[in-house]
Structure 1
Amino acid sequence: MLKKQLWIGGEWVPSREYAVVKSPYSLEPVAEVAQAGEEETEAAIAAAQRAFGEMAAMPAHERGAILERVAGLMAARKEELAGLLVREAAKPLKTARGEIDRTIQTYKFAAQEARRIHGETVPLDAAPGGEGRVAFTVRKPLGVVAAITPFNFPFNLVAHKVGPAIAAGNTVVLKPAGQTPLSALAVAELFREAGLPAGALNVVPGKGSVVGEMLVRDPRVKAVSFTGSPEVGIALRSKAGLKRVTLELGSNSALIIDDTAPLTDELIARCVQGAFGFSGQVCISIQRIYVHESKYEDFLNKFTRAAGKLVVGDPADERTDLSALIHPKEVQRMERWVASAKARGASVALGGHAVSDTVYAPTVLTGVPKDEAVSCQEVFGPIVCVAPFATLEEAIANVNDSRYGLQAGIYTQNLSAAMKAADRIEAGGVMINDFPTFRVDHMPYGGVKESGIGREGVRYAIEELTELKLISIKL
């Protein structure tokens, strides 16, 4: 069985403890991976601190070239890296290839942005006493950045943290999710081959209670970028002190389909993709769909029919659309949540059962009370709730009746309705005539309420990971 060590200071480092990574689909062992303790985490932070001077002094074109080489190496190894996602995350092969393609784009965007980090001139003479001076701003790297990443996009969400950090001249200590450390360790190898200085990127899989706690509390770490649950993110922020903190937390994204929107094949296909892509284990997966009452029955029939055609099975099969959840306990949670909703009057229009110990069927529920977990919490599974509405105001109120606010969507041919929804929906992004699961990797991305603080999207992440400095010259 494959055995992987920690990546610290440009070297593979063994650990006292190893954990077995299993396939979420077959539950067969995939690899043994070293687990960082306090000693190894301390070494990773120290290595990043030592490398910071070299990274901060590195010209922008060199940082950009390193990131470009990483993108090129990923493109050359696309099938190998996609296969890694299939094994450790049970991501269907065609979906895995899509993630690798997006990750390549993210590193390319980071390479471009590395070359255009700049400030602006400041007209000091706009204020009395500012005469005879020239002033401008520059952006300086912060130092050591802690990146804590989830399992669902183990290449691309790593890229959204590591890419901007390296582009800005920072160094990184990366703690990947316990289920998907192999992808992060593969990224370390790519950066080494691309010529990144030793210590500029360190990868330390391990327990959040050990590695995460040390990263958040250590004064040498100047910024923390975290993607994960609201509970962990809120606790992390409370411990971070004056560190920069970017949090991308939970969601239960909603979509409105009004009475003017034609129920085209494309719309139905987008809804199916948005609800069931990677078994719903996507932060902006569609969890709630509100359809105007005049189109509700027609939509429900078309949507369930299309979702029922999804191929469920082995993630290594080219035909598979939907496979295992990340852990069998998540299948058990799906069963509990659906049973709870049914006990309070909800109906199952599709699915509503486990396919195996590791796979849950694509599920569509109707008549779900608003305070049921499948509606008001984050499902992170292949379950979507569909409900009718009478007025746009009612639909917007339903969307906003949530502790989350990451992204939302509305299908409409009414410009006034589109702009009203864009203005009144409480979310970090509103997609008009598209699903809330839409994301391209250079757009600003982040939420309000318990969906987080700060923004990702390469240029916006660079702003979060740099310090603005003012330079004033008296002539």
Structure 2
Amino acid sequence: MTEHTLTVAGVAVDTRHWIGGERVASAETFTDVSPIDGSVLGEISRGTEVEVDAAVAAAKAAFPAWAATSRAERARILHAVADGVEKRIEDLAIVETTDNGALLRSHRRGVMPRVAHNFRFFADWLLELDHEDFETRGHTNHVSWDPAGPSVLITPWNAPLMLSTWKVAPALAAGNTVVLKPAEWTPLTASLLADIAAEAGLPAGVLNIVQGYGSEIGDALTSHPDVRRISFTGSVPTAQRITQSAAVNLTPLSLELGGKSPLLVFADADLDLAVDLAVEQYDNAGQVCLAATRILVEETVAEEFTRRFAEKAAAIVQGDPRDEATDIGPNIHERQLEKIDGFVRRAVDAGARAVIGGHRGEGQYYAPTLLADVAQDSEIVQEEVFGPILTLQTFTTEDEAVQLANDTRFGLAATLATGDRERAARVTERLVAGTVWVNCFFVRDLQAPFGGSRHSGVGREGGTWSFDFYCDLKNTVTAPKGWKNHG
């Protein structure tokens, strides 16, 4: 091991940036701490404008050659990256669990295989990307997707590698070069991704990774004149700052922001299914942007729903995420835990009743909580908590259910439990959300559009929508005459 390497459960992780195909150290560092037990994992290179400029310069220099690389060759390299991910699933899983506290079993069986799938899907989609030519008064229109240039990707801590590669894979497939800025609370698997990409043959400078605090390097990244695309997943206030910064150069943005999504439970629903869907919202300790944190239940079944919910939630095992028996791990950071607890305490002070939970556990764990007797205009109903906190409200009519569901500034997702197909069609048509699930939750296909409405985001990614964002769309119109024969 060197001074720039730390070891997590036997896995060596380089703590330096990855710029232009080389490891680059900074003069200063920041401390990475595991949320599982508060242990210090190591000191990570802390980026400045110097590293940002170097990374963007490397991406700019590598762009012409990568953009000119054939679709088939780009796809081949992305499949090689996916192969590398699959070979290191166990390493990636244990490092990410240690770094962000999510369940090890989920990382092994679902999250890391999805990381590999991100690369394979967009590699394959690239090879099929096409638009049928069409004619206008005898002229032929041909639509093409041109690589846009260096792309800055800023990613969150709740699913670090999966959400990073959800952006990295289509950006690279599109022919763009990348500067990735991982969340400062969870930087480690991004560093491993750099190693995997290099081993897969990704040319130097095509993928660059700069670590550090958004407050220190965010503006340098998003206002850089050589950056052609910015994709960000995170909070509304940060997105507002990014938008202002990007406006200087009119840099196109894709923003996936917060949510305050509803789960509507009608009296005609399968109540056991509805309860299962509601309890599922505690997944990843409630640190899921798509989580349906507002449970809206038809009044006639609310009492029975609440009873069954409390019984089901009582069986949740909270503890060390490395244990196969654990259902919920810790929250990411002491600062986040204090934020969660503040939301709950203010809600209780305002009259809310804790049906279950409502308190901190030991360390960085917060008890799964359901708050009833909450007002629609209260903070706990209107603002994203990002913890294992759900609220319970009742409605009496379909119109009231829709009105309550849409009555926030967000519009990321919605979940609906009903036994009536006609009602499902009526209600989903009226819900303001980027994704609506009916009698299910978290079923996602990479070819579907993903994003939010209102303050939950700007734009859509997924399938062709990702290429529409990461590319400059071109329409070439060709006349039917004017050609000369050249033998």
| TM-score, structure 2 normalization | 0.93
2:342 aligned with 1:331, yes or no? no
CA contact (8 A) 1:341 1:369 kept: no
Structure 2 counterparts to residues 120-269 of structure 1, below 5 A: 120-125=132-137, 131=138, 133-241=139-247, 242-264=250-272, 266-269=273-276
Q: 2:116 aligns with which of 94, 98, 104?
A: 104
Q: Does 1:4 align with 2:4?
A: no
Q: 3-state SS of the aligned residue for 2:271? A: coil
TM-superposed CA distance for 1:31, in Å, is: 2.2
Deviation at 1:116, TM superposition (A): 2.0
The 5-angstrom pairing of residues 248-327 of structure 1 reads 248-264=256-272, 266-273=273-280, 275-327=281-333
**Residue 371 (structure 1) shift:** 2.5
* Structure 1 residue identity aligned to 2:38: L
CA shift, 1:458, in A, is 3.9
Counterpart check, 1:68 vs 2:68: no
AA in 2 matched with 1:229: S
Query: Do the aligned partners of 1:160 and 1:456 also contact (CA within 8 Å) in 2?
Result: no
Are 1:102 and 1:441, in contact at CA under 8 Å, matched by a contact in 2?
A: no
Deviation at 1:356, TM superposition (A): 1.6
Q: Among all aligned residue pairs of Structure 1 and Structure 2, give the percentage whose two residues are the same amino acid.
A: 37
**Contact conserved, 1:163 with 1:458, CA < 8 A, in 2?**
no
Whether the 8 Å contact between 2:63 and 2:176 is mirrored in structure 1 is yes
The equivalent residue for 1:24 is 35
Please point out which of 443, 446, 460 is paired with 1:441: 446
Counterpart selection for 1:51 from 29, 54, 62: 62
Q: Is the 8 A contact 1:404 1:450 kept in 2?
A: yes
Amino acid at match of 1:253: S
**Shift of the alpha carbon at 1:171?**
0.3
Q: Is 2:406–2:432's contact at 8 Å kept on the other side of the alignment?
A: yes
**1:42 equivalenced with 2:53 (yes/no):** yes
> Given that residues 145 and 467 in structure 2 are in contact (C-alpha distance below 8 angstroms), is that contact kept between their aligned partners in structure 1?
no
SS at match of 1:240: helix
User: Residue 37 of structure 2 contacts residue 363 of structure 2 at CA under 8 Å; is this kept in 1?
Assistant: no
Q: Is the 8 A contact 1:308 1:362 kept in 2?
A: no
Say if 2:81 is the partner of 1:79.
no
> More displaced, 26-35 or 207-216?
207-216
- State the secondary structure of the residue aligned to 2:199: helix
Give the distance between the partners of 1:281 and 1:325, measured in 2 at CA.
8
1:358-405 Cα offsets, whole Å, 9 max, x none, are 110011111112222221100100010112210111011001010100
User: What is the deviation of 1:428?
Assistant: 1.1
Residues 10-56 of structure 1 show CA distances to partners (whole Å, capped at 9, x for unaligned) of: 01111111111000121101122111111111000000000001111
Q: Which deviates the most, 230-239 or 163-172?
A: 230-239
Report if the CA contact (8 A) 1:144-1:172 is conserved.
Answer: yes
Q: Are residue 457 (structure 1) and residue 462 (structure 2) matched?
A: yes
Change (3 A) 1:134 1:335: closer
Classify the secondary structure of the residue corresponding to 1:450.
Answer: helix
Unaligned 5+ segments in structure 2 are 7-13, 482-487
Could you tell me whether the CA contact under 8 Å between 2:292 and 2:413 is conserved in 1? Answer: no
Q: Contact (CA 8 Å) 1:88, 1:180: kept in 2 or not? A: yes
State the distance in 1 between where 2:166 and 2:176 align: 14
Tell whether the 8 Å contact from 2:292 to 2:415 is kept in structure 1 after alignment. no
Q: Return the offset for 1:296.
A: 0.8
The whole-number CA distance in structure 2 between the counterparts of 1:190 and 1:370 is 48
Say if 1:152 and 1:282, in contact at 8 Å, map to a contact too: yes
- Give the match for residue 131 of structure 2: 119
**Cα drift, residue 445 of structure 1:** 0.8
Name which of 465, 469, 478 aligns with 1:473.
478
The alpha carbon displacement at 1:357 in A equals 3.3
1:441 counterpart letter in structure 2: L
Distance in 2 separating the partners of 1:119 and 1:467? 14
With 250-259 and 70-79 compared, the bigger mean Cα shift is at 70-79
- CA distance in 2 between counterparts of 1:239 and 1:15 reads 24
Q: Which amino acid aligns with 1:271?
A: A
Structure 1, unaligned runs of 5 or more: 126-130
Query: How many residues matched?
Result: 466
Give the equivalent residue in structure 1 for 2:485: none
For 1:69 and 1:101, how far apart are their aligned partners in 2?
Answer: 14
Structure 2: which amino acid aligns with 1:246?
Answer: S
Normalised by the length of structure 1, the TM-score is 0.95
Q: How far did residue 454 of structure 1 move? A: 0.8
The answer for the alignment partner of 2:428 in structure 1 is 422
Runs of 4+ in 1 over 4 A off after TM superposition: none
**Alpha-carbon separation, structure 2, partners of 1:134 and 1:278:** 51
CA apart distance, 1:409: 1.2
> Equivalents in 2 of 1:12, 1:20: separation in Å?
19
- Residue 14 of structure 1 corresponds to 25
Q: Distance in 1 between matches of 2:296 and 2:179?
A: 42
Q: For residues 278-337 of structure 1, give each alpha carbon's deviation from its aligned partner in whole angstroms, at most 9, with x where no partner exists.
A: 000010112101111111111111111111111111111111111111111222222221
**SS of aligned partner of 1:404:** coil
